[in-house]
Amino acid sequence: MASPTRSLHKVLVSHPHVPKVALELLQQRGCETIVCESVPPSRAEIIGKLPGVDAIFWAHYQPLNGEILDAAGKQLKAVSTMSSGIDYVDIAEFKRRQMPLGHTPGIVKNSVADLTVGLMISAGRHFQAGRQEIENSLWRTERINRLMGQEVRGSVVGFFGFGGIGQAIAKRLQGWEAAKIIYHTRSTHENPYGAIHVPFEQLLRESDFLVVTCPLTAETRGKFNADAFKQMKSNCVFVNVGRGGIVVQSALVDALKNGEIAAAGLDVMTPEPLPADDPLMKLPNCVVIPHLGTQTMQTTSEMALTAANNILNAFEGKPMVCPAY
Ligand SMILES: O=C(O)C(=O)CO
């Protein structure tokens, strides 16, 4: 009788909803997958299942730090997140331990870009205030100049951060007849999609739509503060699909209340999950959605496969598909 094949490696998967294709790939390649069951993920369950694993497939946004690496133990060989942003990871600790870390950028750009265009339109055309009119029986057909919005046509669309996601949005806007696309980043690109690199202050002063697509870093944290909102156009539609921490949220609430800007569309905010009674939720000129950027089967599956391949490559001593550092 053939002896049962021993799994080569144990992989802890931190969330039960990781697409099956990724688990199947890991299993086909000889891994045993240990899948956590709790939703939302329970740190106690994760820590309880970590001892002895060879890799961690981290599929949610809880802090990923020394506590988790310690719980796994010295045999741990690799970790991959299933996200583009890794602001919740203690990168310094990973570097200190020389622990390979992968993530899944690039793949997310199309689904996030689609959703961003949706936020530009829904915030710019006052979907939230319009919905509230109906809910409060205030819809009056006889009024003409009501809930006047900002069109993309003829407008200046500005990007803070112009990597894969920013450029995928600019690509989608080709044909929408924007007057100009401008962006601010640390380094200049070669004007993709006709976009022009400008200083931060010019981005604030000129944008009719200002779209934040950059990661949260020490440099970008709190960049959109009261001073920034004061420099923006009163018709500006502010959209954030980067991270909540890039914005001083109380300053954004004030800017929306005081008419310093016209509207906001947010897929990310602080904290997440946002409490139902947060001031943002009371604003008629703010469209808030619960971090849905990558929530399509296609993108989520591709992210999961990339995370699995990051881990498999590390097991084989190859560079990860998308190393995080
Ligand atoms: O992948 C990420 O980091 C995201 O936040 C997607 O919205």
- Ligand 1: residue of 108, 241, 300, 322 to mutate (most ligand atoms within 8 A of CB) is 108
Looking at the chain, list the stretches that DSSP marks H as alpha helix, in order from N- to C-terminal side: 20-28, 43-49, 66-72, 91-97, 109-124, 127-135, 164-173, 200-206, 226-231, 249-257, 297-315
Tell me the per-residue pLDDT of 189-229, one tens digit each, with 9 for 90 and over.
788 999 999 999 999 999 999 999 999 999 999 999 999 99
pLDDT at 260 over 80: yes
CA of 294 to the centre of ligand 1 (A): 6
Q: What is the pTM of this model?
A: 0.94
User: Which pLDDT belongs to residue 320?
Assistant: 98
CA of 3 to the centre of ligand 1 (A): 43
Confidence of residue 91 (pLDDT cuts 50, 70, 90): very high
Which of the following is catalytic: 9, 15, 197, 291? 291
Tell me the per-residue pLDDT of 296-314, one tens digit each, with 9 for 90 and over.
999 999 999 999 999 999 9
CA of 210 to the centre of ligand 1 (A): 19
What is the end-to-end Cα distance of the chain in Å, rounded? 47
The residue whose C-alpha atom lies closest to atom 5 belonging to ligand 1 is: 85
CA of 142 to the centre of ligand 1 (A): 43
CA of 38 to the centre of ligand 1 (A): 21
Query: Which atom of ligand 1 approaches the CA of 292 most closely?
Result: 7
- Residues 6 or more apart whose CB falls under 8 angstroms from that of 34 comprise 10, 11, 12, 13, 49, 53
Domains of the chain, first to last:
9-105+297-315 (3.40.50.720), 109-288 (3.40.50.720)
pLDDT at 187 over 70: yes
Rounded CA-CA distance 293/232 in Å is 25
Query: Which atom of ligand 1 approaches the CA of 293 most closely?
Result: 7
- The whole-number average pLDDT for the span 17-32 is 97
pLDDT at 230 over 60: yes
pLDDT at 58 over 80: yes
Tokens coding 184: 């601010």
Is 189 a residue of the active site?
A: no
User: Which pLDDT belongs to residue 6?
Assistant: 62
pLDDT at 3 over 80: no
Place of tokens 């009674």: 277
Taking all residues of the chain, what is their mean pLDDT, rounded to a whole number? Answer: 96
Confidence of residue 5 (pLDDT cuts 50, 70, 90): low
- Ligand 1: residue of 58, 82, 84 to mutate (most ligand atoms within 8 A of CB) is 84
CA of 47 to the centre of ligand 1 (A): 24
Tokens coding 40: 């939302």
Axis crossing angle, helix 127-135 with helix 109-124, rounded to the nearest 10 = 50
Place of tokens 């949260």: 216
Tell me the per-residue pLDDT of 150-173, one tens digit each, with 9 for 90 and over.
999 999 999 999 999 999 999 999
- Ligand 1: residue of 112, 240, 272, 302 to mutate (most ligand atoms within 8 A of CB) is 112
Pocket of ligand 1 (CB under 6 A): 83-85, 108, 112, 291, 293-294
User: Which pLDDT belongs to residue 2?
Assistant: 45
Task: Please give the order of strands across the beta sheet that includes 156-160.
Answer: 196-197, 180-184, 156-160, 209-212, 237-240, 263-266, 286-288
User: Which pLDDT belongs to residue 99?
Assistant: 98
Nearest to 223 by CA among 303, 155, 160, 305: 160
- The whole-number average pLDDT for the span 274-285 is 98
What is the ipTM for the molecules in this complex?
A: 0.93
pLDDT at 4 over 70: no
What backbone phi and psi angles, to 5 degrees, belong to 110?
A: -70, -45
Tell me the per-residue pLDDT of 97-143, one tens digit each, with 9 for 90 and over.
999 999 999 999 999 999 999 999 999 999 999 999 999 999 998 88
Query: Which atom of ligand 1 approaches the CA of 83 most closely?
Result: 1
The region that residue 229 occupies, defined by phi over 0 for left and psi between -120 and 50 for alpha, beta otherwise, is: alpha
- Share above pLDDT 70 across residues of the chain, in percent, rounded to a whole number: 98
- Share above pLDDT 90 across residues of the chain, in percent, rounded to a whole number: 93
